[in-house]
């Protein structure tokens, strides 16, 4: 059985969305991974299918109720389900390529898409939800964030992207941003392909690419550069 993704959301119609296109979509069609969505309102007991309530202590907005989310989680992922339970949240641990690789090597994931002001803390603790953020900004909900996470993971699954060696030279895989790429024509608006790339000298090409990756990382991501230098 391939990678199994279960997404709990208030907007199941948003899926698969971009996940149904290109190589990710072909992987879905070919069974390299599977996707199911659960409509959170289906677990609400009242006739209005209410899933939220006002925040305790006052304040603006609404909060997702713990009992309803717990019912959805227990339905899709009983205690014997080995998949990690993830909550897409701006206060979560930043998603990294290392975490993506870990998830790609596992059985799948159960992903909760937050909405409103947040999720009751008690269900986060009771169901062991791992909060994950895709960046230091706030979205209207967790659906787009869930798609980002899933695309990052699924493209690493066997048979989805192809050419396993291409993963090794991507940004973040070696702790550096990726080097610049070029292709034909040889000259574009007066700009030529760097001569080293057409020299046929693979050693020089590799050295140039490494130098470019280091320079880009040093200039654009000093945090990554500091971590890279510490390891090297």
Torsion angles phi and psi, residue 154, rounded to 5: -65, -35
Q: How confident is the model at residue 63 (pLDDT cuts 50, 70, 90)?
A: very high
pLDDT score of 232:
80
Asked if residues 182 and 194 have their Cβ atoms less than 8 Å apart, the reply is yes
Q: What are phi and psi of 108, to 5 degrees?
A: 145, -160
Closest CA to 35 of 142, 150, 157: 150
Mean pLDDT calculated for residue range 101-127: 97
Model confidence at 99, pLDDT cuts 50, 70, 90, reads: very high
Average pLDDT, the chain: 94
Q: 């002001």: which residue's tokens?
A: 117
Cα–Cα distance measured from residue 133 to residue 95, given in angstroms and rounded to the nearest whole number: 6
pLDDT of residue 33 exceeding 50, the answer is yes
76 pLDDT exceeds 60? yes
CATH architecture assigned to 3-154: 3-Layer(aba) Sandwich (3.40)
Q: Are 119 and 86 in contact (CB under 8 A)?
A: no
Span 156-206, pLDDT tens digits: 999 898 755 455 566 787 899 999 999 999 999 999 999 999 999 999 999
User: What is the residue whose two structure tokens read 């202590």?
Assistant: 57
pLDDT digits (tens, 9 = 90+) for 122-146: 999 999 999 999 999 999 999 999 9
| Fold category of 171-231 in CATH | 1.10.1270
- C-alpha to C-alpha distance for 222 and 219, rounded to whole angstroms: 7
**pLDDT value, residue 164:** 54
Predicted confidence (pLDDT) per residue in 215-230, tens digit? 999 999 999 999 999 9
- DSSP letter string, 156-202: TSTTTS--THHHHTSTTTTSSPPPP---SSSEETTEEPPGGGGS--H
* Reported pTM: 0.91
Q: What is the pLDDT of residue 172?
A: 82
pLDDT given for residue 165 in this prediction: 46
Determine the straight-line distance between the first and last CA of the chain, rounded to whole angstroms.
Answer: 39
Q: Where are the domains of the chain?
A: 3-154, 171-231
Q: What is the pLDDT of residue 226?
A: 96
């Amino acid at each position: 059985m391939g990678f199994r993704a279960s997404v709990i959301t208030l907007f199941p119609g948003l899926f698969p969305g971009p996940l149904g296109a290109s190589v990710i979509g072909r992987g879905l069609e070919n069974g390299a991974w599977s996707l199911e969505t659960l409509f959170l309102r289906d677990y609400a007991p009242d006739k209005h299918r209410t899933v939220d309530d006002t925040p305790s202590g006052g304040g603006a907005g609404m909060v997702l109720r713990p009992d309803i989310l717990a019912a959805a989680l227990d339905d899709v992922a009983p205690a014997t389900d080995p998949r990690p339970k993830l909550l897409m949240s701006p206060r979560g641990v930043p998603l990294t390529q290392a975490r993506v690789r870990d998830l790609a090597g596992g059985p799948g994931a159960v992903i909760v898409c937050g909405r409103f002001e947040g999720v009751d803390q008690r269900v986060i603790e009771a169901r062991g939800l791992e909060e994950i953020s895709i960046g230091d900004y706030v979205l209207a909900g967790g659906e787009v964030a869930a798609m980002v996470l899933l695309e990052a993971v699924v493209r690493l699954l066997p048979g989805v992207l192809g050419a396993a060696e291409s993963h090794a030279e991507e940004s973040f895989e070696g702790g550096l941003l990726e080097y610049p790429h070029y292709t034909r024509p040889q000259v574009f608006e007066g700009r030529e392909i760097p001569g080293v790339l057409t020299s046929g000298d693979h050693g020089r090409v590799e050295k140039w690419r490494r130098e470019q990756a280091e320079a880009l990382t040093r200039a654009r991501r000093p945090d990554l550069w500091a971590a890279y230098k510490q390891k090297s």
